[in-house]
Structure 1
Amino acid sequence: MTLNVSADGQIMDSLSRTLEKLEKDNKKKGSVKQVLLDGCVPFSHQVAGHKCGINNTGVLQHPDGTILKQLQPPPRGPREMHFYTQVYAKDCTDTRLLDLQQHLPKFYGTWAPRESPNELYLKLEDVTKRFSRPCIMDVKIGKRSYDPFASQEKRKEQISKYPLMEEIGFLLLGMRVYQIDSDSYITHDQFYGRSLGKDTIKNGLTRFFHNGQDLQRHAVSLIISKIRSILRWFESQTQLHFYASSLLLVYEGSPHTFNGWKHKRAEKGREHQQGEPQSNCNKPREALSVQGSLTHSHPYCHERNANGMCVGSVEVEHEEIGMGDKKQFGQEAVEVKMIDFAHVFPSNSPDEGYMFGLRNLLSTLEEILKD
């Protein structure tokens, strides 16, 4: 499967044309509304992007535990959906794309509410689900946040939002940090991120890892390891360039959830019950665009008991964690995923801009550990 892109960056296929028509119909009907759809609710852990409001549904959480991201107008929405279906195609044999899956949220195809079948959503894994008190940060990565097909007006607009993007290589778009003493979250939005300069960006990142009492050094260390893994993927590929894409960083903020507990994977039979990512990429595109409820999935999710501990798909046993267990145990306490793919384009060269951002982010995190 290939990305067919015109001179102005649009995906030229029947799916794109169909979605463009649906978007125009939606605007005429005023169908983007605050009413919650099919039992879905606003995603409580959203830290960046367009949130639920009068003219926007924001990111929603489906009753089955998955996340619903409303498809953006063409060409961005079709481009992002094409990216996910390309990476998660069941007949995909491209080892680079298969390796990329571990760094993305699982993709369960597309979904539409019964009462508004023309409103399409990407159905994605909720990567915060296994956490009791998730601390979350959205970091835009790259030397620039506009793609090669952006107009001069768009380029000026994006540069004016954060002129230091080219020098720093990343921008903090938002964060939620759990505070132990108050049992509450502090939040910082994109305006806080834009206020950070070369001399203060480290302090901004440090704030994400501080729970009001201590700096969570174990979380910094484990997140560094996961970002290095993403950097290695970029160093191995020359087929895609990513613009205005982000990393979603998550770590467990509750000291009671992981401290003193050991999580073990259940037997394979239980893992299979969670379901596998679903994709519409092997269906005819005409069928893809007209289904009322395009894909219903069996999402990856954990059940939780009254104490917020995972049960069912994860076995829990209480024991002291020795030094040998900390590495395996710690990996469960953090997550790093790439998100936002409305500006991904084919290429035949390394993505130097994205790698520049990753390396600078890593350097800053490593400085935090040294302090």
Structure 2
Amino acid sequence: MATELPLAAAVPVRAGGDDAVGAPAPGGRTDEDEDGPGDERRCLANGCVPLSHQVAGHMYGKAKIGILQHPDGTVLKQLQPPPRGPRELDFYSKVYAVDCGDSHLLELQKYLPKYFGIWAPPNSPNDLYLKLEDVTHKFNKPCIMDVKIGQKSYDPYASVEKIQQQVSKYPLMEEIGFLVLGMRVYQVNSDSYETQNQHYGRSLTKETIRDGISRFFHNGCSLRKDAVAASIQKVQKILQWFESQDKLHFYASSLLFVYEGSSQQIGRLSDGTLMNKVVVPKGQMPDGEVLEYNNNIHVTCPPENGKMESCVDKNVSKMYGLHKKACSKSGHSQVSQKVENLEKGTLWNSSCVPQEHLNGNILTQLENVFCSTSPELTKNTEVEVRMIDFAHVFPSNTKDEGYIYGLKHLIVVLQNILDD
């Protein structure tokens, strides 16, 4: 049986993916993610399979493990080498700690995938994975887009070489404030998916960014303005959170957009509650239950309320050490070690990143954006917008203006699509 590793007793957990249509795609995110430990081991234990609807990030293939799907319906993201992997794990464990008393972190839970601790396969216990909610689980034909947010895709500790590398990949990042990393859009006329990778996103300019984003909301027959309007509302909520906090800065983090691509019939329950009935011409179970086509696995019993039972009682700190040791075999750079040492004991406390380490000036933020969307347009539309990827989250004592800038400009673009 696979090893479900609990967090250390001092940090209990409260419960709180991207695509090539079931196969590796030529495109995938390469900006920030690097090969993790155990990439040479192609073991998919305990019934885990490659996630079928991954649109960005390392895809499953010859040299990559990619995002996996656990038989219980959760997704598994392999922990990256230090300091990125431990930093992302620390982020999730702090946000979802049962004894978390920070109102901003408790509010933040609404905008993240639910977190279920860490997981390791039985035949490779040093390969650790973050166990996360599959945000697309409830959708029959999920349309998915991954958008990196912020004016910088490198963190405050990035080397000059790293900065140059990232800027050269998308020079417009600072001005536009976001980058489309990939999308997967269900086409109702052909019952198929159209996919775009990071090369598509990097081809978008100031003049074409609106049309580029609007492609995500077009189902081959019409523009899904209901999904656009619902997405605006979701992004505005995240923007409100960022404008209310000055403790954390997020770099190379993304928003994952998901909406239902299949045709829907709207009905009402006996008590008047609105109910969506997804029209699925095939794949009906004998008892009337509909198979989920977006996943490789049909989930019958997802984790209830995010509760995860521990199968073994092991010291997670020791596991971190083994994980770090495994990473070092593939080359743990001196720069990474230096950054790791700088971060020790500073993350999530009163320390902050000095202004001189911010690698450049931040453009004047956009004026406040006021968007009005009709409640009638969005009330029956199933949309999710969640923040993902937290390997580059740092403490601060100022608002995250770069991320706020990106969110505001994205809202402007979405509103322009809606008003067109």
Please report the TM-score for the alignment, with normalisation by the length of structure 1: 0.77
User: Is the CA contact (8 Å cut-off) linking 2:186 and 2:261 kept in structure 1?
Assistant: yes
Matches within 5 A, 1:118-197: 118-197=126-205
Structure 2 partner of 1:263:
275
Which one of the candidate residues 239, 243, 249 is aligned to 2:251?
243
User: Is the CA contact (8 Å cut-off) linking 1:107 and 1:278 kept in structure 2?
Assistant: no
Structure 2 partner of 1:232:
240
- Structure 2 Cα separation of the partners of residues 278 and 91 of structure 1: 17
Structure 1 partner of 2:57:
49
Alpha carbons of 1:324 and 1:360: their partners in 2 closer, same or farther (altered >3 Å)?
closer
Matches within 5 A, 1:13-162: 32-162=40-170
Unaligned 5+ residue runs, structure 1? Answer: 1-25, 265-270, 293-322
Alpha carbons of 1:215 and 1:135: their partners in 2 closer, same or farther (altered >3 Å)?
same
Q: Deviations over 1:81-114 (max 9, x none)?
A: 0000010011100000000000000000000001
Q: Deviations over 1:298-339 (max 9, x none)?
A: xxxxxxxxxxxxxxxxxxxxxxxxx99875433xx1000000
The alignment partner of 1:356 has SS state of helix
Structure 2 partner of 1:352:
401
Aligned residue pairs, count? 304
In terms of fraction of residues, the more helix-rich structure is: 1
The alignment partner of 2:306 has SS state of coil
Question: What residue identity is the alignment partner of 1:338?
Answer: M
Q: Deviations over 1:210-261 (max 9, x none)?
A: 00000000000001000000000000000000000000000000013x5447
Question: What residue identity is the alignment partner of 1:230?
Answer: I
The alignment partner of 1:275 has SS state of helix
- Structure 1 Cα separation of the partners of residues 152 and 302 of structure 2: 41
User: Is the CA contact (8 Å cut-off) linking 1:110 and 1:120 kept in structure 2?
Assistant: yes
Overall identity of the aligned pairs, in %:
59
- Structure 2 Cα separation of the partners of residues 48 and 272 of structure 1: 24
Matches within 5 A, 1:197-212: 197-212=205-220
- Structure 1 Cα separation of the partners of residues 219 and 386 of structure 2: 22
Structure 2 partner of 1:286:
317
Structure 2 partner of 1:12:
none
- Structure 2 Cα separation of the partners of residues 250 and 77 of structure 1: 25
The alignment partner of 2:107 has SS state of helix
User: Is the CA contact (8 Å cut-off) linking 1:43 and 1:67 kept in structure 2?
Assistant: yes
Which one of the candidate residues 285, 305, 316 is aligned to 1:275?
305
Unaligned 5+ residue runs, structure 2? Answer: 1-35, 269-273, 277-300, 324-373
- Structure 1 Cα separation of the partners of residues 77 and 405 of structure 2: 28
Q: Are 1:215 and 2:245 counterparts?
A: no
Q: Deviations over 1:133-181 (max 9, x none)?
A: 0000000000010000000000000001100000000000000000001
Please report the TM-score for the alignment, with normalisation by the length of structure 2: 0.68
Structure 1 partner of 2:386:
337
Alpha carbons of 1:357 and 1:131: their partners in 2 closer, same or farther (altered >3 Å)?
same
Q: Deviations over 1:185-232 (max 9, x none)?
A: 000000000000000010110100000000000000001000000000
User: Is the CA contact (8 Å cut-off) linking 2:39 and 2:65 kept in structure 1?
Assistant: no
Alpha carbons of 1:137 and 1:38: their partners in 2 closer, same or farther (altered >3 Å)?
same
